[in-house]
Amino acid sequence: MNRRNFLFAAAAVAAASQFRWVERLSTDKTQASDLAVQGFDVVNKGLSEASYSEHLNWVFDDPETPVPFRSLNRVSASDPSKAVQVPFAGEPNLTKQHGTQPAAQLLSNLDSHRASQSLLSSRVEELIEDGINHQSDHSRALDETPKATEVAKSIVEKVKNFSINYADDVFLSQSDQVLLDSTLNRLARLQNVTGFGNFNILGFDEALKFAKSFSDVGEFTAQELAFIEQIFTTDARNYGFFGEKVSSQLTDVISKDSVIKVPGSGHYLFKEQSLHHYDQLVRDVGEDIVLTSGIRANVKQLHLFLAKARSVNYNLSRASRSLAPPGHSFHGIGDYDVGKMGMGAANFTDAFADSDVFKRMADLGYIQIRYMQENTLGVRFEPWHIKVV
């Protein structure tokens, strides 16, 4: 349907469904009904063709009657060279051409309908505008479908080959590399002072206080703080990471009352959903499954992300394919990692997916993995990362 046909059909629907009458759409009533049905298809009013026929109770006996407000011209469906004028307001002569109701009764109601004319015109304009926008959005979406498909393929390709560099990867500048190094070193010293377990749930404001209070750590410089803010607030999609941001503020705090330390692991879990989920998993899989990472607040995630970036020559995109940028980690709201006892660092590789622990876990039916193979979030396959929330 071309633009003019679309506008005409939308107008027909508005008039028919809102006020149970339609002005003279053409000299042929069947054509008018067909056009109304086209309008139904466009704006999805939810009425059948028969329902539209019932709506066509009034027609103008003179399609050329002048109108004081405005009219809409369309190209005739039967003859594209002929334009049909559709009045939207005015005082035409009315003749009953459907049903048994006398024309006099229709004329007696004309005054009340005149008051609705301007409202009808406004409503039709809204429907037409909405229809045009919808049609435009739909056309744009169709145009962009091949591009979106290519983007998705590119993301999956990088997920599969997460450990190599790509031409569009984002690297830190040399000056920011220096800031990353000094910030990361300070965070490492802070972790030594607070202890590994406590560092996992340390809030940012607490981190600043500890750093200032302990000379072994040293106060964060203004440049380091600006760098941290930059890392946290930058849109991670710029790096190629498309996961959700679950912590909106760098200073978000994890309540100590809401967490519990899991014995023998050095990690914390949230007392309710996460702890119950993990306890059930241990009961079902067996004692050779271990908690390898629990709650990670923004400070801990920042430390891990910066360390990963430095290890891959300051490639933030490559780092984000292996580790969620700070603020985007679901470890901060409930997820946790597991592994097989005795596997060590291999628990954070694809080798864990081949372990008997993972296979028993997968057979349970209720376990979900946060980052599956060929995901479009931009993160490598993580068979160890248990999705809780």
Lookup: tokens for 325? 């940028």
Q: Quick one: 210 and 110 in the same domain?
A: no
The half-sphere exposure of 109 on its side-chain side, counting CA atoms within 13 A, is 14
* Residues contacting residue 136 through CB under 8 Å, at least 6 positions apart: none
Q: Which residue has the higher pLDDT, 1 or 51?
A: 1
Question: Whole-angstrom Cα distance, residue 125 to residue 132?
Answer: 10
DSSP state of 238: G
Q: Which band of pLDDT confidence, cut at 50, 70 and 90, is reported for residue 126?
A: low
Q: Answer yes or no: do 256 and 329 share one domain.
A: yes
Q: How confident is the model at residue 15 (pLDDT cuts 50, 70, 90)?
A: very low
DSSP letters, 133-170, are HHHHHHHHHHHHHHHHHHHHHHHHHHHHTTTS--TT--
Local confidence band at 324 (pLDDT 50, 70, 90 cut-offs) = very high
Whether 227 and 109 map to the same domain: the answer is: no
Read off the CATH number of the domain in which 316 is found: 3.30.1380.10
Asked whether residue 142 is assigned to any structural domain, the reply reads no
Contact 117, 71 (CB under 8 A): no
The reply to whether 77 and 213 lie within a common domain is no
Domain boundary among 73, 103, 133: 133
Structure-model confidence comparison of residues 267 and 22, the more confident one:
267
Residue identified by tokens 């997920």 is 159
Tell me the average pLDDT across 305-315.
98
pLDDT at 200 over 80: yes
DSSP string, 347-358: GGSGGGGGSHHH
Query: 268 lies in a domain?
Result: yes
Q: Residue 375: its pLDDT value, please? A: 95
Q: What pTM was computed for the model? A: 0.65
Write the pLDDT tens digit of every residue in 367-380: 999 999 999 999 99
Tell me the pairing of strands 71-75 and 83-87: antiparallel
Please report how many Cα atoms fall inside a 13 Å half-sphere around the Cα of residue 96, on the Cβ side: 13
Of the candidates 311, 274, 276, the residue with the CA atom closest to the CA atom of residue 293: 274
Res 260 pLDDT > 80 = yes
Domain boundary among 73, 104, 133: 133
Residues 18-28, mean pLDDT to the nearest whole number: 38
Q: Is 153 contained in some domain?
A: no
Whether pLDDT at 105 is above 60: no
Give yes or no: residues 71 and 178 share one domain.
no
Check pLDDT > 90 for residue 82.
no
Q: Is the pLDDT of residue 74 over 70?
A: no
Host domain of residue 96: 3-133
Res. 149 pLDDT band, cuts 50 70 90: confident
pLDDT bucket at 204, cuts 50 / 70 / 90: very high
Q: Tell me the H-state helices in the chain.
A: 3-19, 29-43, 49-55, 103-108, 110-114, 117-160, 174-194, 196-200, 204-213, 222-233, 273-285, 298-311, 316-320, 356-362
Looking from the CA of 22 toward its CB, the CA atoms found within 13 Å total: 33
How many domains does the chain fold into? Answer: 2
Q: Please report the pLDDT score of residue 297 as a whole number.
A: 98
Of 48, 4, 8, the residue nearest 32 (C-alpha): 8
Using CB atoms within 10 A of its CB, is residue 187 exposed (0-12), middle (13-18) or buried (19+)? buried
Instruction: Let me know whether 96 and 198 are in one domain.
Output: no
Is residue 225 in a domain? yes
Checking if the pLDDT of 159 tops 80, the result is yes
Segment of 70-74, 123-127, 298-302 carrying the highest mean pLDDT: 298-302
Q: How confident is the model at residue 111 (pLDDT cuts 50, 70, 90)?
A: low
Residue 140 lies in a domain: no
- For residue 166, being part of any structural domain is answered with no
Co-location of 119 and 182 in the same domain: no
For residues 151-173, give the mean pLDDT: 96
Domain boundary at 133, 164, 196, which?
Answer: 133
Residue range 43-68: mean pLDDT, rounded: 38
Q: CA–CA separation, 295 vs 272, rounded Å?
A: 13
Model pLDDT, residue 255 = 96
Give the burial class of 129: count Cβ atoms within 10 A of its Cβ; 0-12 exposed, 13-18 middle, 19 or more buried. exposed
Distance CA 102, CA 235 (A): 68
Structural domain includes residue 111: yes
pLDDT at 146: 77
Q: Are residues 36 and 126 in the same domain?
A: yes
Does residue 195 sit within a domain?
yes
Could you tell me if 93 and 234 lie in one domain?
no
**Summary mean pLDDT of the chain:** 77
Extract the tokens encoding 9.
Answer: 């059909």
Q: Is 112 exposed, middle or buried (0-12, 13-18, 19+ CB in 10 A)?
A: exposed
Q: Are residues 107 and 180 in the same domain?
A: no
Q: Can you tell me the distance from the alpha carbon of 139 to that of 133, in angstroms, rounded to the nearest whole number?
A: 10
Q: Are both 114 and 184 inside the same structural domain?
A: no
Same domain, 128 and 180: no
Q: Please give the average per-residue pLDDT across 17-33, as a whole number.
A: 39
pLDDT at 29 exceeding the cut of 80: no
